[in-house]
Structure 1
Amino acid sequence: MKKVTVIAILFLLVFNAYAQRIDQYFPSSELTTVGAYYYPEHWNESQWERDFQKMAEMGFEFTHFAEFAWAQLEPQEGVYDFVWLDKAVDLATKYKLKVVMCTSTATPPVWLVRKHPDVLKSNEDGTTYDHGSRQHASFSNEYYRAYSQKMITELAKHYGNDKRIIGWQLDNEPASNTDFGEDAQIRYRNWLKRKYTTIDALNKAWGTNFWSGTYSDFSEINIPKHKQWGMNLYQRLDHSRFCDYETSSFLDEQAQTIRKYADAGQWITTNYIPYYDARYVGASKELDFISYTRYMVYGEHPGIGTKGYRVGEYSRIAMANDYFRPLSPLYGVMELQPGQVNWGSINSQPLPGAVRLWLWHVFAGGSKFTCTYRFRAPIYGYEQYHYGIVGPDGVTPTSGGKEFQQFMDEIKVLRENAGDDKVPEDYLNRKTAILYDPDNTVAINQNKQTVVWNTEEHVLKYYKPLKAFGAPVDFIRDTMDFSGYAVLVLPAYQQMSLKLIGKLSTYVNNGGNLVMSCRSGHQDEFGHLWEAKHAEPIYKLIGGEIEFYDLLRPYAPDTILMDNLTYAWTSWGDILKPANNTEIWGNYAGDFYSGKPAVTCNKLGDGTVTYVGADSNSGDLEFNVLEKLYKRLDIGIENYPKGIIVEYRDGFGIAMNYSDKVYQMKLPIGSEILLGTKDIPTAGVLVWKL
């Protein structure tokens, strides 16, 4: 048997095993399932049954326990109490609600903190956190890591074979573990030893000959003072990597403990906030899949139009969907905003219909489940005034609660109409990847060169046009396969290895179309500038040289001229010197390098490389470059206005409107509208069967 055939068979076996596992967790016939957080410890036990009955009547199919309940689970050291939680599980089951069980490592009990104060995080200035909030214990503290496993072991022993428990959530919104305590210092040095093996290798990677920074032993290395001016950039970069590792490894240890006792049918996940500079997202290999948290209206994002802040920024759920989906066999949303919140800068009411819009958007991206914090609005504590599905009386549905109920009723309509997984061919033809590495973002952000630069906003200047084109988008890593994408976009990919450059060259020579933006290929994978011309290793790819780069003052933007249109730019501009056979698409105008190329397109093998040298102020340059490329490639695109998102899944088309105007959707002949109308209002949703 040929080797390629064996590999293909093995791939199919693994794929089928994954598919069976996913269907075991979340049956495809259900399409999606919806749940709500519940905190039995917050309410009088006499109210629990009423609450679960109400939850089930509204259409919820699962609930979520014990996220912050360590003090109730282990009221004294070594003394465990599961009686109250057993009652809650019994009552949830009575009303056919499945249960997600959580580890409570975000909130250690006070007896643990007072007996072992070293478990608390230490700040750079030597001050420490204290009991009374959450995420105040350090994942780098050896005692805390070990003792947490004791509690998790007891929890897993008790519920690991309980068929009513469908899965486990580890911690809550785990973030990068930044701690300056003694154990963190020791663990950081040990992490460096494992990574570099010898101190000479570390010195070379960190470039410690600069400013007499050379180390002779790992014991001399301290956690870098991030607030101290001029600290070694690579030391800071490695420390941030270590902090992310501490988070991912802590989650892996929890998962390994649970798996010793858990039933094979119980899945394990955690809920990340979608930070795009977080390496720990997707790094815990012991998880079955990952999920995210998303809040849309809390005063930070203006949205579209004067009242857009009530609907939220349309790319936030879209990008989270497209970022998480490729990192995991499946994904879900563990926290979706149920209504008004209390912790934002300005806690406005969402527009009526916005919560339902978000639910449909999560579903449209491929999510297998959505859960919300929380069923009952809290009447005390830090999150007082935060909406729930029902209000503080525990009975009356909130506006967001009614929209959750509406969505769940609408999903039943889809279940009744479910057919094949047909997807329009032109939609699949537009499938595009964005090559993205959070480590690259961290490296750029710690050395921006200009206060005007914003890495995430730069990525969005490429991502938003793709969604306007109606393209399915995957954020992929450099270890993944590029060949399934006609177009691959690399926004500001500053750190590149020669291996990656070779892989990109192969992709293009084989017919792929690469779009690279400014700030790409300037450094090697260690963050060092090349000992060569500026970004020289990518010259063959882009079909020319980068003569130099420029950074403008915020009050003095300049322009780029392309196809008789002008585009303002300020933050970064690579001034290009293309080879004779490289096509020039746009030129700089208005400064001493006026007329020099800013945008080029190089034919390489069977593919192309388009280089966009500047970060435009509005994103219009990036949009028009992508539009020009797709038309040249004869890839059919849509032209959805800002705020309109259209996706396909499970044989359904879903269109959503975040804009401030009614949008009229054109549907293919023969489409059967299941929900909504072709005239989609603000916060409206249209669903049709293909």
Structure 2
Amino acid sequence: MPFKIDFKIPMLFILLNSHAFAQNIEAFFPSEALTTVGVYYYPEHWDASQWDRDLKNISDMGFEFTHLGEFAWAQLEPEEGKYDFTWLDKALELAAKHHLKVIMCTSTATPPVWLVRKHPDVLATEEDGTKMDHGSRQHATFSSNYYRSYSMKMIEQLAKKYGNDKRIIGWQLDNEPRRFLDYGQDAPQRFRDWLKEKYKNIAALNDAWGTNFWSGTYTSFDEINLPLHKQWGMNLHARLDHYRFADYETASFLDDQAKEIRKYSSPNQWITSNYIPMYDVSFIGMSKELDFVSYTRYMVHGNNDGIGSQGYRVGDYSSIAMANDFFRPLKGAYGVMELQPGQVNWGSINPQPLPGTTRLWLWHVFAGGSKFTCTYRYRAPLYGYEQYHYGIVGTDGVTPTPGGLEFSQFTKEINTLRKKYNTKSTLPDSYLKRKTAILFNPDNVMGINLNKQTRVWNTTEHFLKYYKAAKSFGAPVDFVRDSTDFSKYPVLIVPAYQMIDQQMIDKLTAYAHNGGNLVLTCRSGIQNRKGHLWEAKFYEPMWKLIGSQVESYDLLIPQAPGNIKFNNEDFEWISWGDLLKPNKETSIWGTYDSEFYKGTPAIVHHPLGKGTVTYIGVDSKKGDLEKQVLTKLYNQQNIAIENYPEGVMVDYRDGFGIAVNYSDTIYNMNLPHTAEILIGTKAIKTADVLVWKY
């Protein structure tokens, strides 16, 4: 039998709880369970006579929960105002019969045809006027007043019906919510209202948008239309606000759903949504009513090469790791709602994953601290857009797929760990001493991406150069936000933090002054929070913090890379290079070794109070420079680091060490003699895993 999880919440907790993340995650996900594993099931896709068989098989394979109602609005409300829960009641009854808990979903990603035909204004409209239509999913816009209000009626009925159902552990809102740059009927006025709330008066908006440029001045909010992103020369600040507004629409729609559910639901039920990991939007983490966040991850779909000739069957080793470390700090806990079960159908090329890879991904998700992992889906679809998409079982409905067997294997292995779990376990001291934060501000990412200055700049790749380096050191990494207390991190990396204010400069200064090791990178602080260049010399408000002036910057053409000299080694760069003039007390760590400014400093370092500040003013071509600079800094500060090769990731949680290998060679793990190997061997093969108790 699967490990039995007690989802009851202590009465004192219920009495003290109001809502949202003040709740104790321990009550939802007891530590001794470590994690729990589930699978999507769509009873509406199959003959009702098969439901009992399917749910029994799900349980027998070791799954502990299932997931219902995600795309079923037409079945839940076949006619306006007429609801049918009989089929869902039966599915819930059978799930409980086979000891499966349930995640209940809102179906707002798939409105029924009667709704969109009666109210076509709910359909999203593109910038060119093209209107979406029924027949796909996510075709209704969050900027439709009617759609937002009518959705709540359906959600109210669901919450009244199932909000106190003990078989339901939690709720998923929508599905993979997205940013709609909608140009429909209600969007312009909703945008104007959002701008009024943000700026209060038109003079403040004109100032923020710099509307004196090109005679763009407004005299009233009513004159403002949605900016056209495809129109050349459109005001950058207006476009940035349009992104912010669209993200607000997504986040507030989820918050509205959560509030509606909480009117009727038990505090025993948590609420989340499942996001596609995107690092150029602000709606992820913006919804305040979610108990925690979860993400979706598909690793093999022809769009990345991985490592070696078979790497495309394993995926990019940083994808799950970065998602773990990005989503976990948002609320202190996270889950993975969709993890690829095998071959998919929607990629540019849809190869089979390498044998063992699905299990590798499961362990990698677990290593980051995930409270649950769920997969889409149990049965492979026979019709519809996702034909050929693998499930846990194949098209006959009963035969496990290779990925299904690997999910089942993982559930057995987690049961092994549960027997070894020690409530008093702590993280290794050396691991904690190299804990690293990476400061992420979505406004900065969106702002840079609107105005890159060079086609070869890639903001996410810039972050990844530092992230991959820190993970190769065996460092636990958190992506943190502006409001985070930085003091608990020995190292804080601030990549391309373009828009800044004096308050953040003071906060970063205090962090270093009090003993932190601050690393800033190129483009950090070149603009104020409005996205305006300072009325000063380049980066001038940053000069004191970084211990250097910034005289100018350069951008190179791809076919003529420049060179950087660091530690007597040469490194290539093309995308952005700040030309520095350091103060007398500031050390020069790296210089430009080509171009007309050869010999000009590119990387500087200086002590500040009890800590240090390092400024890396250049974005290297491959990330090798960034890793070497960080290596020097960690060594200088006596922070013990590992040197794991590319593709090997090692993390610790709950008294266990987990190593996963995405590389194309065997990696021999060095373990202390006291380690107890629970799963795997020290010689970790490609797509294999090693788990030990330390």
TM-score, normalised to structure 2, is: 0.97
> Is the 2:38–2:373 Cα contact (8 Å) retained in structure 1?
yes
Partner of 1:327: 330
Structure 2 SS opposite 1:545: strand
Aligned-pair CA distance for 1:161:
1.0
Separation in structure 2 between the aligned mates of residue 608 and residue 342 of structure 1, nearest angstrom: 50
> Is the 2:109–2:140 Cα contact (8 Å) retained in structure 1?
yes
Q: Where in structure 2 are the equivalents of 1:210-609 lying within 5 Å?
A: 210-419=213-422, 420-609=424-613
Partner of 1:82: 85
Separation in structure 2 between the aligned mates of residue 666 and residue 608 of structure 1, nearest angstrom: 32
Aligned-pair CA distance for 1:438:
1.4
Alignment counterpart, residue 142 of structure 1, candidates 138, 141, 145 = 145
Aligned-pair CA distance for 1:421:
2.3
Q: Where in structure 2 are the equivalents of 1:203-214 lying within 5 Å?
A: 203-214=206-217
> Is the 2:667–2:684 Cα contact (8 Å) retained in structure 1?
yes
Partner of 2:4: none
Structure 1 SS opposite 2:219: coil
**Paired amino acid for 1:608:** T
CA deviations over 1:98-135 (Å, ceiling 9, x no partner): 01000000000000000000000011011100000000
CA deviations over 1:645-689 (Å, ceiling 9, x no partner): 000000000010000000000001210000000000001100000
Alignment counterpart, residue 683 of structure 1, candidates 680, 687, 693 = 687
**Paired amino acid for 2:244:** R
Separation in structure 2 between the aligned mates of residue 664 and residue 512 of structure 1, nearest angstrom: 34
Separation in structure 1 between the aligned mates of residue 676 and residue 170 of structure 2, nearest angstrom: 36
> Is the 2:23–2:291 Cα contact (8 Å) retained in structure 1?
no
Considering only aligned residues, what root-mean-square deviation do their CA atoms show, in Å? Answer: 1.2
Alignment counterpart, residue 611 of structure 1, candidates 606, 612, 615 = 615
**Paired amino acid for 1:105:** T
> Is the 2:431–2:475 Cα contact (8 Å) retained in structure 1?
yes
Aligned-pair CA distance for 1:581:
1.2
2:41 matches 1:38: yes
Alignment counterpart, residue 106 of structure 2, candidates 103, 107, 111 = 103
Structure 2 SS opposite 1:405: helix
Aligned-pair CA distance for 1:373:
0.2
Structure 1: state its 5+ residue gaps: 1-12
Separation in structure 2 between the aligned mates of residue 22 and residue 126 of structure 1, nearest angstrom: 45
Separation in structure 2 between the aligned mates of residue 36 and residue 590 of structure 1, nearest angstrom: 55
Alignment counterpart, residue 129 of structure 1, candidates 106, 127, 132 = 132
Aligned-pair CA distance for 1:203:
0.1
**Paired amino acid for 1:350:** P
**Paired amino acid for 1:275:** M
Partner of 1:658: 662
> Is the 2:252–2:287 Cα contact (8 Å) retained in structure 1?
yes
Separation in structure 1 between the aligned mates of residue 221 and residue 606 of structure 2, nearest angstrom: 47
Separation in structure 2 between the aligned mates of residue 382 and residue 236 of structure 1, nearest angstrom: 33
Separation in structure 2 between the aligned mates of residue 263 and residue 466 of structure 1, nearest angstrom: 41
> Is the 2:21–2:291 Cα contact (8 Å) retained in structure 1?
no
**Paired amino acid for 1:84:** W
**Paired amino acid for 1:263:** S
Partner of 2:10: none
Aligned-pair CA distance for 1:277:
1.1
CA deviations over 1:249-279 (Å, ceiling 9, x no partner): 0000000000001011011000001101121
Structure 1 SS opposite 2:651: strand
Separation in structure 2 between the aligned mates of residue 321 and residue 215 of structure 1, nearest angstrom: 44
> Is the 2:656–2:693 Cα contact (8 Å) retained in structure 1?
yes
Of 218-227 and 173-182, deviating more is 173-182
> Is the 2:448–2:498 Cα contact (8 Å) retained in structure 1?
yes
> Is the 2:433–2:639 Cα contact (8 Å) retained in structure 1?
yes
**Paired amino acid for 1:503:** K
> Is the 2:21–2:292 Cα contact (8 Å) retained in structure 1?
no
CA deviations over 1:177-207 (Å, ceiling 9, x no partner): 2200120111000000000000000000000
Aligned-pair CA distance for 1:305:
0.6
Quote the sequence identity (%): 67
2:633 matches 1:629: yes
Separation in structure 1 between the aligned mates of residue 479 and residue 525 of structure 2, nearest angstrom: 19
Aligned-pair CA distance for 1:439:
1.4
CA deviations over 1:137-193 (Å, ceiling 9, x no partner): 010100000000000000111111111011100000001122001201110000000
Separation in structure 2 between the aligned mates of residue 590 and residue 112 of structure 1, nearest angstrom: 63
Separation in structure 1 between the aligned mates of residue 22 and residue 309 of structure 2, nearest angstrom: 45
Q: Where in structure 2 are the equivalents of 1:136-175 lying within 5 Å?
A: 136-175=139-178
> Is the 2:106–2:172 Cα contact (8 Å) retained in structure 1?
yes
> Is the 2:21–2:290 Cα contact (8 Å) retained in structure 1?
no
Q: Which ranges of 4 or more aligned residues in structure 1 deviate by more than 6 Å?
A: 17-20
**Paired amino acid for 1:363:** F
Separation in structure 1 between the aligned mates of residue 148 and residue 157 of structure 2, nearest angstrom: 15
Structure 1 SS opposite 2:488: coil
Separation in structure 2 between the aligned mates of residue 194 and residue 207 of structure 1, nearest angstrom: 19
Structure 2 SS opposite 1:393: coil
The 1:416–1:227 alpha-carbon spacing in structure 2 relative to 1, beyond 3 Å, is: same
Partner of 1:5: none
Separation in structure 1 between the aligned mates of residue 215 and residue 385 of structure 2, nearest angstrom: 48
2:185 matches 1:182: yes
Of 52-61 and 19-28, deviating more is 19-28
Aligned-pair CA distance for 1:19:
9.0
CA deviations over 1:60-116 (Å, ceiling 9, x no partner): 000000000000000000000000000000001000000100000000000000000
TM-score, normalised to structure 1, is: 0.97
Separation in structure 2 between the aligned mates of residue 453 and residue 626 of structure 1, nearest angstrom: 21
2:63 matches 1:60: yes
Separation in structure 1 between the aligned mates of residue 269 and residue 277 of structure 2, nearest angstrom: 24
Aligned-pair CA distance for 1:329:
3.0
Structure 2 SS opposite 1:483: helix
Partner of 2:5: none
CA deviations over 1:198-231 (Å, ceiling 9, x no partner): 0000000000000000000000000000000000
